[in-house]
Structure 1
């Protein structure tokens, strides 16, 4: 419940502080005085879009603070706890600051929050019905939302929405894959040919490097063999003279000289070691030559393999050493395309299951809507009679269309039908209801739904436009009755409605030093009589008007 509202530098308000009570509070005032200013400020404090024009001219910023009693608001408490914004008190303080550049800051219990968080919390605190609310009543989607709100279909609607989203996402995936598959048909054929060719060639990892090295060796085999034989003769096998025998001879000579000078013994040892090394090298050369044969057939085989590698590399415009990676990549790409076909088949089954689940949830919702509609038909028709539409009949026409494309609200088409005169057939609201009738029907629906939907504070901003006389009295009685269970705040220009309030504020506009100021003052019992009399008879308040005003107020005592 709203218990306090402070407004600073907002529009034509300089400084305003008000306290609010339970029951029905009426707000009246002169035309153009800004009777809705408090509601506009409260809307801003509850997260509505902030604009620089909201800041009073020649001031730096506007500030609005709203205090709420959370004693009977479990959902609001839950929101605060979940967002770590609760305090030890049963009160909650919302604050919104708007700078003259249009930027704003939001606070809950002193902690900075986003405007979206303010708005989410505000849904658990206040419901505002504007003077143009009846215009939304002509829209089918809004009619469905009203019916669901009255029936408490939050869980059912969420279930339908969840199944719809699942169905929608699967359909989207199917469409994307199907389009991709159509575009990839030619690509798949090319990939199948390329992969088959590379599979048949079966090039192995590092094979190109190995076969390139083997080809180089085989193509120079004769040169290698000839050189090995020639050098083997020079090093060891030439009987007349070879390097090994020369080294051995020199080693022997220096060994003999070392007997005369020990310094030459090291030279002898080095020469002997060199001779051993040459002999070992010669043995290696001999073994290599014995194991190395000219193999023209292997050379042809290697050349053919190498030529195949080079041809494939040129064909795919890549380096030979990248051919294996290329083979792996196009194989994976082909598998991906093939998997798409399998996924499409799988998706068809999942889509059918999702559609069946959606239709089942939508059917459950539709059946519950029909039950709630029957109750609402009776209640709204009865309320219309109280609002001077004695012969009025209201009916919610629901037409299930399970064959239509799924949507998040189910498969029901809804139409609010009305007959305001005997013998007149039921027709859509937009065709038969006048502005005043539509306003009354809208008010009846809002009040009935408000009684079923737990909202701590209901604000009606001139919803009584277009009505007068006995109808206005009935509206006032309806709002006062609603105020017994819910805090009701009503901006009105009708004395019959204003007199129904448990308390009343008067909004006045003053001009001082070229500036406009708006004030909202609580009225005493005598003040209420004067204000109701003004609404009845104009600025010149007569004794008769006062008497009538007193009678109106006393009628609700």
Structure 2
């Protein structure tokens, strides 16, 4: 609800403070008194384009401040928090718009800077203005589906749940198909790589084991070469043992010739025994050495191939067994993927079918609701002097690509204002007066189905009088039981229904210099006697008669 409006230095308004209450409030005054200025000022607070021409002459800036109250739990509090604006639950919203005379503007919400685009979003939940050229609110076809659902108390949650589940299966299927396509491109390579790796059969820790065994075999090969040479030196044809034996045999033949020769022979026998022992130990050691050239060649070839395979796949040799398993798993997934995709396809089809069934039920509910809604609107039109007009809610099924969480229907309110004329969208109604009255009929029917707290009607009674004006006043009063209404009117029948009444007028004052005048727009809140006089003026014109005053009293007591 709009609590107050403060205007400073806007066009002809130098300072104005208005306080508002619940129910129906009206603003009256002579044509040209400045009612449009008031709406322009309020429009600024609601995010309208800031024109420096709105700033009062000789002022540096103009300021408009609008204060709103919201019921506890209103969705707007959460929306503001989502947009990094701190407003406590139950705290009033204070919107301030500053327009500079040299261009530029800024907007504040509870003293926090806010963009104009966000301000418009916020304002759309606070207030709705219907005027001669209004193209918001009920004229916007995007709101018609929600309004029809609210009118018929239609629960769309089954459709919403079915839609979101269907979309989840769509995403899962799309992901599976995309993954399958990627894997299919790699299938040939995977098959070759897995076949090669399985054939090679790398083992965990194999590189270290092969390297250790190769080192042992290489050491054995080196020792074997040395011992073979030593063996030749000892046991060969010209080896040391052969020569020692020859020397022993010859020394034995002459050892009796001299005592020392016998001693020499004894020493030589010992040398032969020691050399023999050495030869036996060399032979035994050669038998014990791990010296297998064929095995060594095989190990070196295996180690070379193992490391080459690891380099090929850009991993460490010890990672080859796990890598082999990973590739085998991917290949298995490709081969089993068709079965998984088949299951996802079936699940997706079932989810789509469930959504379509729920959407079709919703479509039928909307058709029934539309019949009741159309009849209710049609019943409101004759008293508003729109007997020839016809209203129709058009429900069309959308293409599959446009289906959503709120169903597969496009809903639009249409009207035919003349007999035989085709139905057309609301915003194509030519007459501003007809449009405002039609908006009133819709508002009366939709009372309680919308979330807007405050509604403004600008000259809804244009071009009508008598019984029609009374009907408009009666409907405005009825509508104000659920919403705060502000109406700019020229109709005494409408003005008499108000809980609050303001008079808008121009005030001219002469300045100190000769022939110079200052013009200001003033707004005065009227008491009961002042309202009687204003309504009498509206009834009789420039000269207020006693008869007009009497009629004004009758209207006020209605």
Same fold (TM over 0.5): yes
Of the three residues 455, 460, 471, the one matched with 2:456 is 460
Q: Unaligned regions of 5+ residues in structure 2, if any?
A: 232-239, 242-280, 512-516
The correspondence of residues 26-45 of structure 1 with structure 2, limited to 5 A, is 26-29=26-29, 35=35
The DSSP-based 3-state class of the residue aligned with 1:543 is coil
Q: 1:440 aligns with which of 437, 441, 458?
A: 437
Distance 2:173 2:379 in 1: 51
Spell out, residue by residue over 1:65-114, the C-alpha distance to the aligned partner (whole angstroms, 9 max, x if none).
Answer: 5253x7xx45449969x989668xxx74222345666554423xx99999
Cα shift at 1:383: 0.5
Q: CA distance change for structure 1 residues 67 and 178 in 2, over 3 Å: closer, same or farther? A: closer
Counterpart residue number, 2:411: 414
Instruction: State the 1:357 CA deviation.
Output: 3.7
Which residue number corresponds to residue 235 of structure 1? none
Q: Which residue of 2 aligns with 1:23?
A: 23
Is the contact made by 2:160 and 2:406 (CA closer than 8 Å) also made in structure 1? yes
Shift of 1:25: 0.6
**Cα gap change, 1:62/1:330 in structure 2, threshold over 3 Å: closer, same or farther?**
farther
Residues 60/37 of structure 1: CA separation in 2 closer, same or farther (3 Å cut): closer
1:141-188 Cα shifts (integer Å, max 9, x gaps): 3332321232233xx234433432332343244334434533542223
- The aligned residue for residue 389 of structure 1 is 386
Distance 2:285 2:105 in 1: 91
C-alpha distance in structure 1 between counterparts of 2:75 and 2:181, whole Å: 55
From 352, 368, 373, the counterpart of 1:371: 368
- Per the alignment, residue 251 of structure 2 pairs with none
Name the structure 1 match of 2:465. 469
For residues 481 and 555 of structure 1, what CA distance do their matches in structure 2 show? Answer: 16
Q: What pairs with 1:47-196 in structure 2 (closer than 5 Å)?
A: 48=47, 62=63, 64-66=65-67, 68=69, 73=71, 75-76=73-74, 92-98=91-97, 102-107=105-110, 126-129=127-130, 131-133=132-134, 140-153=141-154, 156-196=155-195
Aligned to 2:210: 211
Distance 2:337 2:392 in 1: 51
> SS at 2:164's partner residue?
helix
Q: Secondary structure at the match of 2:67?
A: strand
Alpha-carbon RMSD: 5.0
Output the CA distance in 2 between the equivalents of 1:169 and 1:430: 38
How far did 1:473 drift? 4.1
1:459–1:488 CA contact under 8 A, matched in 2: yes
Structure 2 residue aligned with 1:350: 347
Query: Does 2:501 match 1:504?
Result: yes
Structure 2 residue 193 is matched with structure 1 residue 197: no
Cα offset, 1:500, TM superposition: 3.8
Question: Does the CA-based 8 Å contact 2:42-2:64 persist in structure 1?
Answer: no
Structure 1 position 554 matched with structure 2 position 550: no
Tell me: CA distance 1:203–1:526, structure 2 relative to 1, closer, same or farther (3 Å).
same
TM-score by length of 2: 0.69
What are the residue-to-residue correspondences of 1:295-374 with 2, within 5 Å?
295-313=292-310, 315-316=312-313, 323=320, 327=324, 330=327, 334=331, 341=338, 343-374=340-371
Shift of 1:223: 0.8
Instruction: Say which one has the larger Rg.
Output: 2
Cα distance in 1 between the residues matched to 2:206 and 2:62? 77
Partner Cα distance (2:524, 2:551) in 1: 23
C-alpha distance after superposition, 1:307-364 (max 9, x if no partner)? 4224434544667566557546655655666676555334323323432442343244
SS at match of 2:214: helix
Number of residue pairs the alignment of both structures matches: 493
Cα deviation for residue 7 of structure 1 reads: 4.4
For residue 522 of structure 1, report the CA deviation from its aligned partner.
1.2
User: Counterpart of 2:405 in 1: which secondary structure?
Assistant: coil
- Conserved 8 A contact 2:151-2:449: yes
Asked if the contact 1:215–1:299 (Cα under 8 Å) also holds between the matched residues in 2, the reply is: yes
Secondary structure (helix, strand or coil) at the match of 1:4 reads strand
User: Do 1:106 and 1:114's aligned partners in 2 also have CA atoms closer than 8 Å?
Assistant: no
Deviation at 1:217, TM superposition (A): 4.0
Q: CA deviation at 1:504?
A: 1.7
> Structure 2 CA distance, aligned partners of 1:493 and 1:138?
24
**Contact kept? 1:133, 1:442, Cα under 8 Å:** no
Q: CA deviation at 1:394?
A: 2.9
